[in-house]
């Protein structure tokens, strides 16, 4: 027993010794927040500078003890404005991907988030966010840790829409998408409402038809015609009350982002961007996704394979939610009831695909 306890203590000490984190450049930590040290990873808190001169925090990890240039994964973030800094005390899909992929894992804090300068993320528009990512990718390709010819872009959730736009005009080793499809943004938000009406338990089946016939024109006015929600209701009295009933809707924002952000997203041609990608593509879809439809995910893989047969892989993960937590059924996933975490639901297909895409 004493030997077993000693072995555990030595293993913990060895893992802690492997964890290294350092600050590079002149962008300070906000509120003197300590650097996160992750067992088995070397972490660099650096920076990128946008074309308007704003400094954004770049966080890179690589396996501890490695040297030379490695393949890299560049993260395109989900919609919410939270930080992408890993929690040292909490395992996550992305943290374990960084640890187990033998790559440089690159994250960039959006404008006004964590250490990053600039306007707050809630004020950031979609076009600027994509441009910042593209500029960051170009700068990170020159980092001494990174093999510029073997960079994979990974779009998580909403990042699945920005990932193909970031890749445009750039030579990448692959693009991964999880939790987002290639339909128009208008369709995407209509589908959000459809799933809400079907699965939230707040609407009877016989109410859904009439609800959708009010929400569809509202989204068209708001997203395609660029009207603010209050303006839509003022110009169309028959649509009054729709905005207040939409999930994520607030008086001055939508899912924590500006109205302009969503309206600019609605102008993007995501399918055309995916059609331009000549690198391998991986698309992950959870069977019980609370927000996104299977058809939008499948559209990416089917389109790419139609143009370049065999280059896209579609993986549907049974009983998995939007964040790839396992649930007993779709309604439980929507209400976040009875879920069980299993990191390998995400890691197993991703690591297998990366090994092939990166020629390992």
Q: Can you give the pTM of this predicted structure?
A: 0.93
C-alpha distance from residue 192 to each of 68, 244, 268, 286 (Å): 44, 15, 18, 15
| All structural domains of the chain | 17-183+270-357 (3.40.50.1820), 185-265 (no CATH)
92-112 pLDDT tens trace: 999 999 999 999 999 999 999
Q: How far apart are CA 20 and CA 130, in angstroms?
A: 31
What residues of the chain score a pLDDT lower than 50?
A: 1-17
Torsion 113-175-188-269 (CA) sign: positive
> Do residues 178 and 98 lie in contact, with contact meaning Cβ atoms separated by under 8 Å?
no
Distance CA 236, CA 172 (A): 46
For the residues of 164-222, what is the DSSP string, one character each?
HHHHTTS--SEEEEES--SS-HHHHHHHHHHHHHHHSSSS-HHHHHHHHHHHHHHHIII
b/e string for 173-211 if b means 16 or more Cβ within 10 A? bbbbbbbbbbbbbbbbbbbbbbbbbebeeeeeeeeeeeb
135-163 pLDDT tens trace: 999 999 999 999 999 999 999 999 999 99
Question: In the prediction, which pLDDT does 360 show?
Answer: 72
């Amino acid at each position: 027993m004493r030997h077993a306890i000693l072995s555990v203590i030595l293993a913990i000490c060895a893992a802690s010794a492997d964890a290294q984190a350092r600050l590079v450049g002149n962008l300070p930590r906000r509120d003197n927040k300590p650097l996160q040290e992750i067992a088995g990873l070397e972490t660099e808190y650096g920076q990128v500078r946008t074309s308007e001169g704003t400094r954004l925090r770049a966080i890179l990890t690589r396996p501890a003890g490695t040297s030379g240039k490695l393949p890299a994964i560049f993260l395109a973030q989900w919609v919410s404005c939270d930080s992408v800094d890993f929690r040292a005390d909490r395992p996550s899909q992305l943290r374990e991907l960084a640890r187990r992929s033998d790559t440089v894992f690159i994250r960039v804090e959006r404008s006004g988030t964590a250490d990053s300068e600039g306007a707050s993320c809630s004020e950031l528009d979609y076009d600027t966010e994509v441009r910042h990512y593209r500029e960051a990718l170009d700068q990170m390709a020159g980092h001494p840790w990174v093999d510029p010819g073997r960079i994979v872009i990974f779009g998580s959730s909403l990042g699945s829409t920005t990932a193909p736009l970031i890749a445009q005009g750039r030579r990448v080793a692959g693009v991964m998408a999880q939790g987002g499809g290639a339909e128009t943004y208008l369709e995407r938000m209509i589908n959000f409402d459809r799933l809400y009406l079907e699965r939230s338990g707040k609407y009877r089946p016989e109410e859904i038809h009439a609800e959708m016939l009010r929400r569809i024109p509202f989204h068209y006015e708001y997203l395609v015609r660029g009207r603010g929600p209050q303006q839509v209701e003022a110009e169309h009295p028959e649509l009054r009350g729709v905005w207040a009933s939409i999930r994520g809707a607030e008086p001055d924002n939508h899912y924590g982002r500006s109205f302009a952000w969503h309206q600019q997203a609605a102008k993007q041609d995501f399918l055309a961007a995916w059609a331009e990608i000549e690198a391998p593509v991986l698309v992950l879809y959870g069977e019980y996704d609370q927000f996104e439809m299977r058809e939008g995910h499948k559209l990416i893989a089917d389109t790419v394979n139609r143009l370049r047969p065999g280059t896209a892989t579609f993986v549907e993960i049974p009983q998995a939610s939007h964040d790839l937590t396992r649930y007993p059924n779709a309604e439980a996933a929507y209400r976040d009831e009875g879920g069980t975490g299993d990191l390998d639901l995400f890691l197993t297909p991703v690591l297998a695909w990366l090994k092939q895409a990166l020629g390992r």
